[in-house]
A = this chain, B = another copy of it.
Amino acid sequence: MPVSLKDVAERAGVSIKTVSNVVNDHPHVTPATRARVQQAIDALGYRPNPTARHLRRGRTGIIALAVPELANPYFAELAEAVIDAAGEHEYTVLLDRTGGRREQEVLASQGFRTRVIDGIILSPFELQDADLAGRSDEVPLVLLGEREYDAPYDHIAIDNVAAARAAVRHLLDLGRTRIAYVGADTDSANRPAELRLAGWRAELTAAGVPAPDSLVVRGKGWGREGGARAMARLLDSGVRPDAVFAFNDLIAIGVLRALHERGLRVPEDVAVVGFDDIAEGRFGAVSLTTVSPDKGAIARLAVASVLGALAGGSGESKGSGRRDLAPGFRLVERESTVGRGEAGRPGVAGVRDQFGGGAGGS
């Protein structure tokens, strides 16, 4: 039923190859021939079969994006940005979801879960360095996010330590001194690798403010519920912070909920800063101050990295060196730290700082 080059060629009275040439805009085709072929194409409604084309070319035009879960709006928003960025290069995006589980991340990193792809953009959560060591380098890989690896793959993330420090700095500037950190629950092996926690500690230490472990708490998972429970546990333990810096916005939203249930006012009693700048944070009863990564830039860099590897190193990609690409971020101040009157209407809150992006060598 579908129309092939052969059908068009017969109708136009030319060879298959000539039709192919017309379709691919090759030079050296007479305007007359081109017109005749084009007419046949239009008449039959021919469209190239991408599968055959890809078999021939060795490329599929698809890149996989593997994220922990789409239900986390940060990843949904990031996915939209990646779809846009890929679209600009006429690539489509196959979405994969790892659940943040290590074994799924390993499979995704090797392209086992989605074999019809030219490249992989992976946002790992529990993946270990060792998991990447055994990888065959047939398919280009780019890593996103806070976790850092030694493996020779491009890594794209905002400067997490600097971003965390900016958030904590903001809280210090507001006069807060008992600033808690509510983190995500990851495999225990990863804990030392939490850059945002490191930033929290560094900024407090630099300011001469105590950063005791009693102010650090983690929820189960990285969602709203985990944040709420962790915050409740912190309050139950008798600790009474005057500010919270959360690993991400979802956790921060859970924190807001827990504070609300205890009758604590935000920001009067406790100021809260999140991380990710998801849309949800702008529309709660108390809009959320947050670190806003430049998602568009992250997506564009990721896609460019994959396509660059495809275009450049054919086989020689191994050891071609990794790059650390750091897009910019902003600290967006909203009601959860500066209050209603000062922050103004949601969505138009003040932006404190613009931290430019840049690439640091490895």
Contact = CB atoms under 8 A, between A and B. Distances in A.
Number of copies: 2
A70 B71 contact: no
B60 A70 contact: no
A237 B114 CA distance: 54
Interface residues of A, number: 53
A47 interface: yes
A253 to B, nearest CB: 6
Interface in A47-74: 47, 49-52, 54-55, 60-62, 69-71, 73
A347 B228 CA distance: 12
Contact of A70 (B61, B79, B115, B347): B79
A72 to B, nearest CB: 8
Contacts of A92: 94, 96, 113-114, 116
Interface stretch (A157-165, A196-204, A279-287): A279-287
Contact of A69 (B2, B80, B253, B315): B80
Contact of A54 (B51, B62, B285): B51
Interface string A282-314: 111110000000000000000000000000000
Nearest to A112: B47
Contacts of A253: 283
Contacts of A113: 92
B95 A228 contact: no
Interface stretch (A141-149, A254-262, A351-359): A254-262
Most chain-B CB neighbours within 10 Å: which of A49, A54, A116, A260? A116
Given A51-B60, A283-B253, A97 B115 contact: no
